[in-house]
Each structure stands twice: as structure tokens, then as C-alpha cells.
Amino acid sequence: MRPFWRALRRNQLALAGGVVVVFVAVLALLAPIIAPMDPNRYDVKKILDAPSGLHPLGTDQLGRDVLSRMLYGARVSLAVGFVSVGIATAIGIALGSLAGYHGGLTDAMVMRLVDLMLVFPRFFLLLAVLGFLRPSIWTIMAVIGLTGWMSVARLVRAEFLSLREREFVLWSQSIGASAFRIIWRHILPNAIAPVLVAITLGVPAAILAESGLSFLGLGVQPPHATWGNILSEGKDAIEIGWWLSVYPGLAILVTVLSYNLLGEGIRDALDPRLRQRVGRIVSRRR
């Protein structure tokens, strides 16, 4: 871990992204404490009030405090991101492990399933599935997770194909260890690095997917606040209530960018060949 942390600390953009990620997560967790008002409290006397001391981010068309809705919306958006990525990662690891370890017919069947899923554009697949289901936060989590496991499966399969011929795997097979034990105790821990990167990069993709679905009215339904449906409500009043579009849009932009920077930094830090190349370049400059 020491070389990993040393390499990650050198990446200032990754560190900045990590700080923002932690900051947004803390705000989401503390939303019930730090939110100035009830996010669903109506006030017809405060409809579309501009940002002020009482309402730092203004109010919406129903007089609800935008800051409070943004804080609670962060909870929903991050929950959708983490849970859906957790579902996708579990499926991807299971199928990728089986395909990479057993090979042959199992590998061919899993890879053909991956190819079939990749044929359909993910967002349109989400729209098609949600067209037959009742939109809810649990439905959104499940659908995004069930349509986002393919990249994890391919990464895990590639790692297993290279690791299954290593000496420690052959030794485990020679003493009669079961396939389950070899996969979960010996190969998978050595193949987890690209999965961590995929998880870090998958969370912003899930947040974007949820925001897009909520913007189209197929995501988490009101009165639950998410960044996507706040943005959707703001488009109808963008000329007189610009804050309803600017602030949730900036929240999505900054959060997604921070996760991407952190994911890129983790990928670079976990790649020993890249660390060696960077080290040689730094030593030459010195």
C-alpha cells in the first residue's frame, strides 16, 4: 500500500477530487442536521425567490428551499450511485470470474451475453425497461445496476485469464483446492485493482444516468428531491429562476468530475508500470 499512497499523493488532481468526493458525502450524510428547512415545505409567499440570506440558493416554483432540496438530493443521488454500482460489481465479478477461470464454453457464453448487452445503448435500454416499470428509487437502482455490469465482467475476466496460469494457482490446484476457494481466496484478491477503478468510475456514470432519467421524468419521482428532478423543474422557469438550473447542474458537474479525477488517479497509482515510467521521467529531470 505504501507505493500506492505515495503515487496517489503525487497526483494533485486526484487528491482534489478525493477531497470533493468526501465533502459531498459528508454533506449528504449530515443533510437532516445541516439543512436549514424541510425540503418539502411549501411557502406560497416565497415562490421563485432569488438567493438571499434566508434562502442561500433561492426557492422553487412551490416556495421550497433549494439548498435543503439540494442536500437531500445528494443523499438520493449518491445512494443510487453506490447501490447500483454495488449490484453491477457483484454481477460483473461473479460472471467475469467464472468466464476467466473456467474458459471454454463458459467463457464463450458469458462473453456472448456481454456482447449482447453492449449492443444496446445503455441509456435507451434504461428508458425501455423503465417504460414497463413503475419509477421508484429501488427500481432505478436495480435497473442501472443490471445494465452496467459488463465492463466489470470484462476487466475481471482479463485479469483471471492472466492469473490462472500463475504458480500459486497451479500449486493450489495440485493440492486439491476447490475452484471456489481458488477463485475467491487466491485469484480474486490479486485481480481486485481494476475493479476498484471501475467502481470509482462507475459511481459518476450511475449518478449521470439517474440525473438524466429524473430530468426526463422517469427517475425518482417527486416529492423526493434529486439533482436531476430539481434540474428538470428548473427548465420551465430558467428565464426568471436561473438558480434552479445552475446549482443542481454545477453539483452534478463537480461531483462527476471529482469521481473521474479520483478514479484516474487510483488507476495510475495501481499501475506499477506507469509508476516506473513516471519515476524514470522524474529522475531524469532531476
Neighbours of 87 (CB within 10 A): 20
Collapse the DSSP code of 106 into the 3-class scheme (helix H, G, I; strand E, B; otherwise coil) and give the result.
Answer: helix
Residue at grid coordinates 488517479? 265
- CA atoms within a 13 Å half-sphere pointing along the CA-CB vector of 193: 15
Q: How many CB atoms lie within 10 A of CB 217?
A: 12
Whole-prediction pTM: 0.82
Judged by phi (left if over 0) then psi (alpha if -120 to 50, else beta), residue 220 lies in beta
pLDDT for the residue numbered 271: 66
What amino acid is encoded at 123 in this protein? F
**Distance between CA 193 and CA 190 in Å, rounded?**
7
Per-residue pLDDT of the chain (286 residues; tens, 9 = 90+): 677 777 778 888 889 999 999 999 999 999 889 888 888 888 878 888 888 888 888 888 888 888 899 999 898 888 988 999 999 999 999 999 888 888 888 889 999 999 888 888 878 878 877 777 777 788 888 888 988 899 899 988 888 888 887 888 888 878 877 878 888 888 888 888 788 888 888 888 888 888 888 888 777 777 788 888 888 888 877 778 888 888 888 999 999 999 989 888 888 887 655 455 444 433 443 4
Percent composition of the chain: helix, strand, coil (DSSP 3-state, to 5) = 75, 0, 25
* Extended strands (E) in the chain: none
> Nearest-5° angle of CA 73, CA 213, CA 239?
70
- Count of domains for the chain: 1
Those residues with Cβ within 8 angstroms of residue 34's Cβ, 6 or more apart along the chain or in another chain:
27, 71
Q: Which residues pair with 59 in a beta bridge?
A: 65
Owning domain of residue 65 = 2-285
Q: What are phi and psi of 65, to 5 degrees?
A: -70, 125
Is the N-terminal amide bond of 223 cis, ω within 30° of 0?
yes
From CA 98, how far away is CA 92, in angstroms rounded? 10
Using CA atoms, how far apart are residues 137 and 115, in angstroms rounded to an integer? 28
Pair 164, 172: CB distance under 8 Å:
no
CATH number for 54: 1.10.3720.10
Asked whether 23 and 15 are in contact (CB, 8 A), the reply is no
